[in-house]
Amino acid sequence: MSALEEAGDGILAQRAADGDATAFEVLVRRHGPYLRAFAIRLTGSIADADDAVQEALIAAWRQLSTLEDTSKVRAWMASIVARKGTDALRSRRPADELDDERPGDDDAGPERQAVASSRMDALSAVLASLPEGQRQCWVLKEMGGYTYEEIADRLDLTPATVRGKLARARVTVVKEMEAWR
């Protein structure tokens, strides 16, 4: 497998689309950590993230022949992970529920900041405190780079709702991260 490990994503994806499971395995090992990290931030749950990644990879294997630009296989796989991850969340609870509540609540902010030992920890805590819908919008936009339309499609929302949730998430994140310049 060592020669395959040297090959670029595009070549491996083409090969996997032809049915070479070994090439697919190289892609999975190469991008698995990224997909898992993204899924954990999106779902807020390691168990959900692992399930989403596994389901997404199986779906990716089946749909590889539909991927036109094989060099973008990582982004393509991430979009399938996003879909599986958001499906899992939807099946657990209705998409809009709890959105305007703030589980973390504002006065928990300073304590969180005091406890957080680094900027990364602080951001991690802020994201965890966001209402689920807002966190998903923020993660899909800022970490995933998706458009409002794509996010709306993933979350079964309208682009206008995504715009609103994203803005509210941004306000909270900006406010909570003010100390970390």
Contact residues toward other proteins (CB under 8 A) are: 2-8, 10-12, 14-15, 17-21, 24-25, 28-29, 32-34, 36-38, 40-41, 50, 54, 57-58, 61-62, 70, 119-120, 123-124, 138-139, 141-143, 148, 163-164, 166-168, 170-171, 173-175, 177-178, 180-181
Number of residues assigned to the chain: 181
Least CB distance to other proteins at residue 53 (A): 8
Tell me which residue of 48, 3, 43, 47 sits closest to 22, measured CA to CA: 3
| 114 Ramachandran zone, left/alpha/beta (phi>0; psi -120 to 50) | alpha
Q: Which residue number, 89 or 146, has a Cβ lying nearer to other proteins?
A: 146
Least CB distance to other proteins at residue 61 (A): 5
Nearest-angstrom CA–CA distance, 104 and 56: 31
Cα separation values, 175 from 53, 110, 131, Å: 32, 11, 15
Least CB distance to other proteins at residue 62 (A): 7
Q: Which residue number, 20 or 93, has a Cβ lying nearer to other proteins?
A: 20
Q: Which residue number, 93 or 131, has a Cβ lying nearer to other proteins?
A: 131
Q: Most distant CA pair in the chain: distance in Å? A: 56
